[in-house]
Structure formats: structure tokens, C-alpha cells
Structure 1
Amino acid sequence: MKSKILLVDTDSDCLISLSGMLKGTGFEVSAATSAEEALELFSTWHFPVVMTAINLYGRDGIELLKQIKRIDDTSQIIVMNGEATLETAMTALRSGAYDYLVKSRIDEAQVISLVEQALEKHRVAEETQRLLQEMKVNNEKLEKANKCLIEMAIRDGLTGLYNHRFFQECHQTEISRSRRHKRQYSLIFFDIDHFKEYNDTHGHVEGDSLLRIIAQITKGRLRQSDFAYRYGGEEFALLLPETDKQGAYIVAESIRARIAEYAFKGRETQPFGKVTISAGVTTFPDDAMEAEEILDKADKAMYLAKKNGRNRVHAFNIGQMTVAVTSTG
């Protein structure tokens, strides 16, 4: 079936003549005698090609052209005028017209050829638009897939926390930021007391469940600006930007207390009759100026918490560390 063409002109003789030419070639034709009528017809069917006169009742053909283009930019508009003036032709083409015809010089072969060329341009424009939309959708899908891949690369698969590798990147970034802006940050390092015994007694499925719950408890005690990482095995690291040692100690103690009171399955078999953690806290720049040293001192503070009976939080203190090292020979 041939395409539908919209003709717009106040000259009924011109409409009859053009309509006859187009229908004789198999095109479906609709006709309007005003811009308002043409817009009403266009609102019900987006004609691929519109042929409009310049002079219309109430509104000129150039304004009609612009309005149709705003509705559907793929529609091709052929502008017709009774006189051949360069100024009118250039105005029409600059406004988005496909071509310009002088009524007195119109012949059937020219009209049919021009309409078919306009239809081909419309087809190409629609296909281009479709491909661009398809590309947009595919790019959105690709972007979403890339985000998923990035998340998979930086997340621990079991707990959903960030992983060890991402911790190393974030820690370097945070210490550089804090050094540049002369700000504090704190690191909490903790592990689960007697986790191996829990795993041996209850199995790896329950052990994995315990790790997931501890991750959820930990995230629930942090601000949006804080970051939680599964450092490895039963060890966890927390980065707290803009946080002094006292503030970090309060956070660590809150996590420790919540874990100790949580009714984990089989907790009664643990040495304290409950699941517990031991945690160490260090602060930049108070305790160290380099990332590795900050982590090492948090680990030492955690070791002291374990040495002093577990289920507790220790903030790094150089005097306490000296005593601890000396007492262990």
C-alpha cells in the first residue's frame, strides 16, 4: 500500500490537480484548506510527506512547517508558492522544508519523483531515529551491565561488603584526602572470636550465615559516609572519614555490643556462650601517617583486645603496645 500524503492549500483547483496526480500513482491523499485543519489531521496521523502552500488562511505555510516539525521531525515538508522568489525558497529550506515548488511549473512527473524522494528521506530519517533509540537502549543496558561488573569486582560475594582489594584502594584514597585537607579519619579492624570453633561445630553453612548477619549488623551501625569491608575470612575493616578516635571507639563498641547480644544459632556452644568480636581502633594522623602503618597498628590494638580476654575494643595506644610486646617476651 502506498503512503499517505497530506496536501494543504486554499486553492481548491491546486488541491484537485495534485490529488489526482498522487492518487493516480497509488498514493492515499488527505487535503486541508487551512493550517488549523492540517494540524488537526496531522495529530491523528503523522503523514510522512506534507505538501503545503505558503499562503494559508490565518497562518502561513512556513509556520505550519515549523509546527509539524516540532511534532514529528521525520515528516518531510514540500513547500509550494505561486511565484519563484529566492528569499521565500531560502526561508522555507532554512525552516526545515525538504524542497520548494513553484505552482506554475508543476508537472506530474516532477511531483511524483519529488514525493518519492521525500518518502525515501522520511524512511531513512525514521530508521536513523530507530537505530539511535536502539543504541541509546543498548548503551543504557551496557552501562548497567558495566556497573554490575564493577560492583561484582569490588564486593565480597558472601557478605555484600566491599572486598579486600577495594579496601586497599579506598584506604590509599582516604589517607591522601585526609593528608591533603589536614583532616582525621579512623580505622576499625575486628575479627570474630573463636570463629573456627563455631565453623567446626555448626558447619560452613551456619558459619556463612553468621558472617552475613555480622556484616548486616555492622552496616546498620555506620553512617552513609562510612565504608565496611570484609578484609578476609572472619576479619573486617571499617573506614570512618572525618572521625576522631573517640568517635570511632563508640562505633566499634556499638557493633561489639550488638553482636554479643544477637541470638545467633548455636551461640551457646561458644566459649562465652555467645558470639563475640575483638576490635582495634587507630586514627590518622594521631597514630601514623602511612596507610600500612595505620592498618598495622589497628591490627596490634585488636591483638591486645584478644590478649586481654576478647569481646572488647581497644584503641591504639603506644604505651599499651609496648607493655603488650614486652609481656609476651
Structure 2
Amino acid sequence: MDAVVYAINRAGLDQYIPKPWDEPDLRLTIQNLLSRFRLERERGELLAELQSKNAELATLNSSLEEKVQIRTRELEGLNARLSELAITDGLTGLYNHRHFRERLTLELERSNRTGLPLSVLMIDVDSFKLYNDRHGHLAGDNALRGVAKVLQHGRRANDVVARYGGEEFTIVLVDVASAAAKDVADRIVAQVAEFPFEFGSSQPLGRLTISAGVATAPGDGVDAATVLAAADRALFAAKNGGRNVVRVAGK
């Protein structure tokens, strides 16, 4: 009988007390049962609290990961915008001079490897100082934006259109030979002459115009400095040749 009682009590069941029992044994048994009940209840409460905290932590982790992802995307967007601003002319929205020189060097290296031509247009707004002096810097800035708009119109994805500085602009025409580059320049010159600039009629030719010089690699050079110098000489010839015209290097 004692072995049965011991086995039942060890099994974690309500304790078995053989008859007859005395009051001290009964009291002790009840106290033990109450203590066990309180411990079990406390364990259950702690387990429930632990599960709640784990669920809360999982929610916080998920929220934190989402916030990190959002912040990462924001930072990536800001970095992309900063990179874009670093290569953009603030007035016209075209590429700036530094980016133009970098791209020209890269494209000339590619041209030298492949043997394909590359042409550069150097463009200058005719009598721009006169326009600026007569109508003010705001009108001058608007005129430069108008020229930039024309230069951007119809450009190919791999063409590099940039503000070279002041009233000078430049275009890199990838895989374009001299004759085709002159056709592009002629079209741009005509489009600028037809553009409705606010004070264009006050200019010497009765409208605001540009002149352009064309140089092509490898015939006019294989490095940036040589090609740009050739394009600049052609532009100078256009300015001296009556303006509102295109001249090709070496011709």
C-alpha cells in the first residue's frame, strides 16, 4: 500500500492519503496542494507574459526593419540626387563642364578602341553680351535656358549635351562622322534661330542666334584637348564668318 501511495504522489497527481488520516497530515497535504497550485498559476502567468513580450519584440523588430528599409531607400534617393546635382549645370539643367570632360575622355577612349568616329560640337550664343547688357541678367538666363531646351530636343540617349561655360555649349555625338555631325549642327542652328526668345528681335540679326564648330575624331585628333581645340577653331571661324552658321574643322 505504501508503494502505491508513493507512486501516485510522485506522478504529480493529487496526493493520496490513506485512511485513517490525522489532522496534521491532512493540513500538511492541503498546504502542499495550495503551494503547488500557486506555483503552477504563477508559472502560467509568467509564461503568458513571456509569450506576450516575445510577440511585442517580434512586432518591434518587424517595425524596426521596415523603418530601416524606408530610411535606406531615402538615403539611396538622396545619394542619387546628390550624384545627379554634382554633374548638372544649375542654370540650364544640362550636364556641367566637369562631367562633359569626363564623358568626352571616356567616349574618345572607346572611339580609339573601336575605330568608330566621334564628333564634338562647340556652340556659342551670338552677341550674348549685347543681349545681356540690354535686357538684364534674368533675360540672359532665360535665353540660355531656351538654347538648352533646343539642344536637348531630339538628342539621342548616348549624346552628351552640356553647358561648357558662360554662353558656350557643347555636344558629344557618339558614332557620328563629320558630315552627319554638320547636319545635326545645321539643324540646331536653324531651330535656335526660330525659337521665340523674348527679346530676340533686338539682336543684330533680328533674332537670337548661335554659331557652331564641328570637329571629329580621329581625323581632328584622338585626345580631348586636341579635338576640343579643333572644334574651338571651327567655332571661331563661324563667328568670323557672319555668325548663325556652322563651320567644320579643317575646311
- Fold shared by both chains (TM-score > 0.5): yes
Distance 2:48 2:173 in 1: 69
Q: CA RMSD in A?
A: 1.4
Are positions 1:213 and 2:146 aligned together? yes
Aligned position for 2:215: 282
Check 1:178–1:110 CA distance in 2 against 1; reply closer, same or farther (3 A cut): farther
Aligned position for 2:104: 171
Distance 1:201 1:310 in 2: 20
Q: How far did residue 254 of structure 1 move?
A: 0.8
Aligned position for 2:162: 229
Are positions 1:118 and 2:24 aligned together? no
Aligned position for 1:272: 205
Q: How far did residue 108 of structure 1 move?
A: 4.3
Q: How far did residue 110 of structure 1 move?
A: 4.2
Q: Deviation digits for residues 272-323 of structure 1, max 9, x if unmatched? A: 1111111011112121111111111110111111111111111212xx4xxx
Aligned position for 1:55: none
Between the two proteins, the alignment pairs up a number of residues equal to 212
Which of structures 1 and 2 has the larger relative contact order (alpha carbons within 8 angstroms, sep 6+)? 2
Aligned position for 2:67: 134
Structure 1 unaligned segments of length 5 or more: list them. Answer: 1-106, 321-329
Which of residues 220, 231, 239 in structure 1 aligns to 2:172?
239
- Contact 1:222/1:251 (<8 A) preserved: no
Aligned position for 1:297: 230
> Which residue identity is paired with 1:120?
K
Aligned position for 1:64: none
- Contact 1:221/1:251 (<8 A) preserved: no
Q: How far did residue 211 of structure 1 move?
A: 0.4
Q: How far did residue 204 of structure 1 move?
A: 0.9
Distance 2:91 2:119 in 1: 25
Aligned position for 1:160: 93
Aligned position for 1:252: 185
> Which residue identity is paired with 1:248?
A
- % identity of equivalent residues: 40
- Contact 1:278/1:306 (<8 A) preserved: yes
Which ranges of 4 or more aligned residues in structure 1 deviate by more than 4 Å?
107-110
Higher strand share goes to which structure? 1
> Which residue identity is paired with 2:93?
G
- Contact 1:186/1:248 (<8 A) preserved: yes
Distance 1:179 1:116 in 2: 72
3-state DSSP of counterpart to 1:203: helix
Distance 2:190 2:54 in 1: 72
Q: How far did residue 221 of structure 1 move?
A: 3.1
Aligned position for 2:120: 187
Are positions 1:306 and 2:239 aligned together? yes
Distance 1:126 1:286 in 2: 67
- Contact 1:159/1:230 (<8 A) preserved: yes
Q: How far did residue 150 of structure 1 move?
A: 1.5
Check 1:111–1:187 CA distance in 2 against 1; reply closer, same or farther (3 A cut): same
Q: TM-score, normalised by structure 1?
A: 0.62
Higher helix share goes to which structure? 2
> Which residue identity is paired with 2:157?
Q
Distance 1:243 1:236 in 2: 18
Q: How far did residue 143 of structure 1 move?
A: 1.1
> Which residue identity is paired with 2:162?
Y
Q: TM-score, normalised by structure 2?
A: 0.80
